[in-house]
């Protein structure tokens, strides 16, 4: 009788352990609150971070929730960092700027590397193609930056490119290069083109008017 009672007790114990395991696997019981990481993010990354599949990764894999505010890549370096755990700018330039002001961060990592991309409307793209300023290779369009800069310097009107519906001259609009990486990178590219290669202090001074 005693041996039988022991077996019954063991079976009950195993059943309780099994039920508890199933309960936990199914998400039962109190779950820990996810830790919140707060920081600044460049505007071009908002779409990525708002993607549902991306939003699920920090919580599912790391128990984290992201709380971010949009800021220009250079603006975020000088912004108030109180209560912020990270900065997510768009270039090495922003990191170097941070290091100049505050020293090396606890950790830094290059997550993405992408080319500079110009966005435009289809009629403008087709007009540039006709002028030989844009070529297509494997479904990707490439801008002849030297040719584009020449058109801008010459004050070429959109009408001269067969686009009379557009007012003014050929131009590229960017974000503020002093505050945002997108404008800063385009300004650097423009400087390289104007200097005929890699811009430096001497070559920039040589092409500046006056």
Give me 143's structure tokens.
């801008």
Q: What sign results for the dihedral spanned by CA atoms 111, 114, 117, 121?
A: negative
Alpha carbons within 13 angstroms on the beta-carbon side of residue 190 total 19
| Ranges of each domain in the chain | 35-102, 122-207
Q: What is the pLDDT of residues 46-98, one digit of tens each?
A: 888 888 888 888 888 888 888 999 998 889 999 999 999 999 988 888 888 99
Task: Enumerate residue ranges in the chain where pLDDT < 50.
Answer: 6-18, 20
**Predicted model pTM:** 0.60
What is the predicted pLDDT for the residue at 79? 92
CA dist 9 → 3, 6, 14, 21 (Å): 10, 5, 9, 18
């Amino acid at each position: 009788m005693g041996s039988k009672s022991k077996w019954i007790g063991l079976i009950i114990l195993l059943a309780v352990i099994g039920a508890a395991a199933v309960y936990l696997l199914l998400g039962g019981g109190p779950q820990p609150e996810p830790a919140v990481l707060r920081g600044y993010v460049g505007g071009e990354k908002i779409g990525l971070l708002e993607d549902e599949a991306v939003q699920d990764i920090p919580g599912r894999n790391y128990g984290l929730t992201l709380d971010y505010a949009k800021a220009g890549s250079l603006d975020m370096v000088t912004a108030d960092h109180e209560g912020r755990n990270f900065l997510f700018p768009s270039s090495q330039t922003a990191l170097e700027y941070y290091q100049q002001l505050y020293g090396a961060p606890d950790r830094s990592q290059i997550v993405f590397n992408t080319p500079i991309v110009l966005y435009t409307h289809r009629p403008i793209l087709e007009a540039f193609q006709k002028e030989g300023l844009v070529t297509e290779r494997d479904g990707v369009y490439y801008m002849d930056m030297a040719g584009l800069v020449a058109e801008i310097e010459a004050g070429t009107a959109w009408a001269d490119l067969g686009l009379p519906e557009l007012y003014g001259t050929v131009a590229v609009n960017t974000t503020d290069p002093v505050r945002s990486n997108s404008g800063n990178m385009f300004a650097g590219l423009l400087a390289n083109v104007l200097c005929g290669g890699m811009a430096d202090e001497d070559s920039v001074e040589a092409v500046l008017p006056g």
